[in-house]
Structure 1
Amino acid sequence: MKMQGQDNHNSMDHLAVTKEEKELEVYLDEGQKSAYEQREKPEVHTRDGTVDRFGRPAMKCRSGGWKAAILILVNQVLAIFALYGVLVNLVLFLTRVLRESNAPAANDVSKWVGTLYLFSLVGAFLGDSYWGRYKTGVVFQVIFLAGLVLLSLSTHLFLLKPAGCGDVNLMCEKPSFPKVVLFYISLYTIALGYGGYQPSIITFGADQFDEQDSIEGLSKVAYFSWFYLALDLGCLFPNTILAYFEDTGNWLLGFWMATGSAALALIICLAGTPCYRHFSPGGNPIPRFAQVFGAAIRKWNVSAPSQSDQLYELPSKESAMGGSKKILHSEEFRFLDKAATLTEDDKISAAPHNPWRLCSVSQVEEVKCILRMLPIWLCTIIYSAVFTQMASLFVEQGAAMRTTISGFHIPPAGMSMFTILCIAACIVIYMKALVPCAIKFTGNPNAFTEFHRMGVGLILAVFSMVSAGVVEVYRLRIVDNSHAQNTLGIFWQTPQYALIGASEAFMYVGQLEFFNGQAPEGLRSFGSALWMTSIAMGNYVSSLIVTIVMDITRRKNKPGWIPEDLNRGHMDRFCFLLAFLTALDFIAYVICARQYRGIARSMDNNTDDPHQRI
């Protein structure tokens, strides 16, 4: 009877998987069906080593897939809604409520956004090493929610004085220093929560797809585009309706709506707990990295063998990091191969090998993977410096233009609606038109690589800043000729917002796929954090450029390029400067991308191309 019950249970599992197969097949195009038909009989458990919440091997029919990923995507829509409920008009809040001037306010926004994304390293470290991605995501979401509650309360109790202040007409009283400190504590608590949560949840969503399964592997690639589309949709309401309410002085409404959205996001994340797949944390990577450099330095006078099969590797299937696949040897950074070189002392030692003297090839290749990605990462920083202008200088430029069209006031931050719509259009067109056409004419599903997408994003960013500069030239010309202010309509900003949106769709989605796909398996959250830290560094670079430009251009009693009154400045020159720097960055990017060689993993006759190039 027991055996019969078990047979019935296995039969039901098989039926469930077969039903899932039939449902999936409806959504497959011809290329995907071909890959699907090549697959052997359906498997009950995943092959990538994921487990359920109890630590048992994850079952395909009961966990992961789109049913889990959709919950994470909805969570992202609500979380980004909460973040942008604060960010979208933050520069105006600083100038109207805290009484800061334009350049310092733009710098403060850039520093805050930069710190927010820099906190991603904290979340990635804890998620990959100790807590796991799910627990890390939940803990930092709680911190994020706490920061929003504190922000709403501090604004209500201390900052909006007199009542109704903070709109375009009535400035608030300059708050005392302790009140400003409390505001910034709440603001940076939000940064810690959202920044720490984001890389874990990005990678956790990708973990719901088994990349060793032909169908789920395709879904995993598509997930990053849908993820960014979810971020885009979550920005739509804050950048339009909420931006309008905040611009008219209803700051509390915006902040409390953001708080409610963050609370709902946390609830939805927790609701999917029974159906998530998990990777076990792989331990602290810092000692492993230090061991590679330490062993290589100790053996600086040892010659590494020319044949990779003569280097030391663990006999087991996994690498030194628990659960991860072995990584094949690569030719770059040959000095580090000394760490995996067997010396006579290593061979005659009966004791287990000391990792500070001898490392496996996979352990060495983990370090090489990160080192290879760094030049590409550096080339994305200038782009992020351009992107951050949308939340600072673009808004200040719009505030200096005519914002009333046919009797209706257009909030300056609301112009980012065109960015959001353009992102959504570009992602859909790319996935539904460009990729199928490329596959049809070339037969190559990877006709558009992540390198192509990032390169297109850089070029479009150049055009966006040129467009912003041209608009500013005409705005200043009209002001000078008419001796009046706000004579150029705000909708002249539409091209620059649309172009930065198109560039974002290509650049940031490409970065997500690249850094997540090329990172070692146990450091996937770190790969997502690289994307976020490029945004962080871009914000810091933007702040640095603004500071340097203002220090240079304010000499001899001149107002500078970005003064309090933009009509007396030359923001157009600043935009052209950023366009020039981005063009130089594109040249450097092409050089680095053409020399890049991708990661090669050992995995059951399925190896990534080790020679991926632009």
Structure 2
Amino acid sequence: MSISSAEFQSTENGAVDDTVGGMLDYAGRPAKSSTSGYWRSAYFVIGVGVAEKFAYFGISSNIITYLTGPLGQPMAIAAADVNIWSGTGLLLPLLGGFMADSFVGRYRTIVVSSVVYILALGLLTLSAMLNSESPNHLQVFFFFFSLYLVALGQGVHKPCIMAFGADQFDGQDAKERRGRSSFFNWIHFSSVAGPLTAVLILNYIQDNLSWSLGFGIPCISMAVSLTIFLFGTRSYRYTIKVEENHPLWRISRVFVKAAINWRTKSSTSSYNEEGQETAPQLCSQQFKFLNKALLAPDGSREYEEASNVSEIEEAKTLLRLIPMWATSLGYAIVLAQISTLFTEQGVTMDRSISSSIDIPAASLQCLIGFSVVLLVPIYDCVFVPIARSITGSHLGITKLQRIGTGMVLCILSMVIAALVERKRLETARVYGVADSPKAKVPMSFWWLVPQYILCGMTNIFAMIGLQELFYDEVPCKLKSIGLSFFFSIFGIGEFLSSFLISIIDKLTSRAGGDGWFSSNANRAHLDYFYWLLAGLNALGLLGFLYFSKSYNYIGDQGIVI
């Protein structure tokens, strides 16, 4: 929900000392810190996160098994389809962020996207009920239509719910600012608690009972998520929608103006700063070429057509994040393997925990959830206070230090995954099952535990650090879009993963032999692919360190653009 600035002005006279600047309550009055927002509202958002992630991961964590099973797709094609679908879902937050920040506001966007989400999950359940042993083209089309509608619902929902939750904390108040940093830890905790439950329960139902039931339960969960969100309506803080040009339009205009004026000298220019905020000196010396957008060349543009300082600073804040975005793509490619290649590894291994119980391969993903559930409280309640006492930073360590640590752990996870896969292939050859695709390799699934645990640790550092960076380091009016760019890292990562797998599969199998991604996993070479990903992430880390040295924070300075 967003409220117009005119409505805010009409209520401003009733403000009291604990009024939160720039925020309103559900009735359109200035929001008070004593009665709205903070953890009283954030708990609802965290509850929504648990239910929504349960629904989404109940589908995504095991979708490759549905594609290779009931739909009968080969592993390489199924992995590519999963990557493309996941990538689409992770790019759609750009649409959700744009809608929320430019048109209808975060509250309304969350409600509408939740309804679409529920409808999509209902259709997906119906498609599983109608499926046959040999599905025809119409059934396959209906399934993928429903699946991509799920991607649309969750893609629009995702950035808005996270930004809306962070909005409940006043960045100008020291206590609430610390609470917001903690909120990002706990919202990630919730985003793991939901999937953890889904992987443990729904994967078993899908593999052993019914796919339609396994898809229907997430539909119910999403309905619960919407109900929880609506219950918190009276406690939320809502941003004020100012009647002005759309944020992305203003930023695009800055780049166009700077390009038009790149030959214009400042001595022939005018500056349009009337009624605008002062540019933060911290950023004004970076990307000086954008300052050309301030110019109004004689005889070519009217004075009013020049961009103003505030608009230029908005553009600069986004531009400064691009190197961090680009150098994180290797990490995103690694995450794309968890629900695909990691799962296919587990399918071939001994997953028994007793003489009669086998763990579903997709359920091994819960190891990531367990590591996050165990380590987030330790990070938030033990590590951060200790680090804070040493560094003096309310975050403990800086956002970039946190991300860099995660990148190192990501490289280590790929090195271990490659070594374990090499061991699995050798075991298959020694026991004579290399040419038996459906035979179990006599090697326990416990060998996979370290790579899953390290991926969980990577997320605690890199993923949460990126969330904070892309929320705190963008203008106030672009918070949803900032988080959308964060999610787009993983969307592009899914597409890059699909591209790499497709190209490498063609190159390594063109002579008619077994490629790196052979349908017989015991003749494949996933270990080579993991080594390649470790190398790509090492290059990404070097680039990240290079750009980090010249990065200046604005979020921690209390500067509002």
TM-score, normalization by structure 1: 0.84
Partner residue, 1:597: 552
For residues 571 and 111 of structure 1, the distance between their equivalents in structure 2, rounded to whole angstroms, comes to 20
1:156-185 CA-to-partner distances (Å, cap 9, x unmatched) read 1x21x3xxxxxxxxxxx2210010000001
Distance 1:598 1:361 in 2: 18
**1: CA distance, partners of 2:137 / 2:298:** 66
Which residue matches 2:501?
Answer: 546
Q: Which amino acid aligns with 1:174?
A: S
In structure 2, what is the Cα distance between the partners aligned to 1:592 and 1:475?
39
Deviation at 1:381, TM superposition (A): 1.2
Match of 2:17 in 1: 43
Indicate yes or no: 2:44 matched with 1:71: yes
**Amino acid paired to 2:84:** K
In terms of Rg, which structure is larger? 1
Could you tell me whether the CA contact under 8 Å between 2:254 and 2:290 is conserved in 1? yes
Look up the match of 1:85.
58
How far off is 1:440 after superposition?
Answer: 2.1
Please show how residues 306-455 of structure 1 align to structure 2 within 5 Å.
312=271, 314-316=273-275, 318=277, 329-341=283-295, 353-355=303-305, 358-407=306-355, 408-455=357-404
Match of 1:297 among 237, 240, 259: 259
- Which residue of the other structure, out of 152, 172, 179, is the alignment partner of 1:212? 172
- Give the C-alpha shift of residue 365 in structure 1: 1.1
CA contact (8 A) 1:123 1:199 kept: yes
2-structure distance, mates of 1:149, 1:600: 41
Residues 327, 366 of structure 1: 8 Å contact kept: no
Contact 1:328 1:361 (C-alpha < 8 Å) held by counterparts: no
8 Å CA contact 2:272, 2:304 repeated in 1 = no
Q: How far does residue 253 in structure 1 lie from its aligned partner after superposition?
A: 2.2
Distance 1:387 1:290 in 2: 31
- 1:563 aligns to what? 518
Cα distance in 2, alignment partners of residues 327 and 424 from structure 1 = 41
Check conservation: 1:52, 1:278, Cα contact below 8 A: yes
Partner of 1:128: 101
Counterpart residue number, 2:121: 148
2:199 pairs with 223, 239, 262, which one? 239
- 1:454 deviation in Å? 0.9
Q: How far, CA to CA, are the matches of 1:466 and 1:300 in structure 2?
A: 47
> Are the aligned partners of 1:457 and 1:502 in contact in 2 as well (CA < 8 Å)?
yes
Partner of 2:24, secondary structure, is coil
2:76, 2:519 within 8 Å by CA — same for their partners in 1? yes
SS at match of 2:171: coil
Q: Which residue number in structure 1 is paired with residue 9 of structure 2?
A: none
Q: Which structure has more RCO (C-alpha within 8 Å, separation ≥ 6)?
A: 2
Q: Which position in structure 2 is the counterpart of 1:528?
A: 483
Provide the secondary structure at the position in 1 that maps to 2:263.
Answer: coil
Cα distance in structure 1, aligned partners of 2:444 and 2:417: 14
Equivalent residue in structure 1 for 2:449, among 494, 499, 505: 494
1:190 aligned counterpart, secondary structure: helix
Q: Find the aligned partners of 1:79 and 1:545 in 2 and give their Cα distance.
A: 30
Partner Cα separation in structure 2 for residue 498 and residue 424 of structure 1:
11
C-alpha deviations, 1:305-357, integer Å up to 9, x for none? 7xxxx9835343658xxxxx9786521221111221466779xx9x8x423xx
Q: RMSD between aligned alpha carbons?
A: 2.3
Q: Is the 8 A contact 1:328 1:362 kept in 2?
A: no
* Deviation digits for residues 231-281 of structure 1 (CA, Å, limit 9, x no counterpart): 111111111122222222422222111111000000111111112111134
Rounded to whole Å, the distance in 2 between the matches of 1:600 and 1:491 is 42
Residue of 273, 283, 287 corresponding to 2:249: 287
Between the aligned partners of 1:537 and 1:442, the Cα distance in structure 2 is: 35
3-state DSSP of counterpart to 2:169? coil
After superposition, the Cα gap between the structure-2 partners of 1:513 and 1:268, relative to the gap in structure 1 and judged at 3 Å, is same
Deviation digits for residues 41-86 of structure 1 (CA, Å, limit 9, x no counterpart):
x923112x01123332112222111111100110110000000110
The residue aligned with 2:87 is: 114
Alpha-carbon distance between aligned partners in 1 of 2:149 and 2:499, rounded to the nearest angstrom = 23
**Aligned residues of 2:206 and 2:214 also touching (Cα < 8 A):** yes
Residue 259 (structure 1) aligns with = 219
Distance 1:216 1:237, change over 3 A: same
Change (3 A) 1:368 1:195: same
Change (3 A) 1:431 1:313: farther
The residue aligned with 2:472 is 517
Contact 1:326 1:601 in 2 (8 A): no
CA distance in 1 between counterparts of 2:555 and 2:58 reads: 42
DSSP-derived class of the 2:172 partner: coil
Hey, what does 1:584 align to over in structure 2? 539
Instruction: Indicate which of 51, 62, 68 corresponds to 2:35.
Output: 62
Q: In structure 2, the residue corresponding to 1:46 is in which secondary structure?
A: strand
Partner of 2:234: 274
State whether residues 472 and 555 of structure 2, in contact with CA within 8 Å, keep that contact through their aligned partners in structure 1.
no
* TM superposition shift of 1:120: 0.4
Structure 2: gaps spanning 5 or more residues = 1-13, 434-438
Summarize deviations over 1:406-429 as a string: whole Å, max 9, x none: 221111111112111111233222
The amino acid of 1:597's aligned partner reads N
Letter in 1 for 2:175: I
Letter in 1 for 2:198: P
* Residues 432 and 413 of structure 1: CA distance in aligned 2, closer, same or farther (over 3 Å): same
- 8 Å Cα contact 2:93/2:488 also seen in 1: yes
Distance 1:341 1:367 in 2: 16
Compared CA separation, residues 329 and 561, structure 1 to 2 (3 A): closer
In the alignment, what sits opposite 2:3? none
Task: Look up the SS of the partner of 1:424 in the other structure.
Answer: helix
Local SS of the residue matching 2:108: helix
Structure 1, gaps ≥5 residues long: 1-12, 15-41, 162-172, 320-324
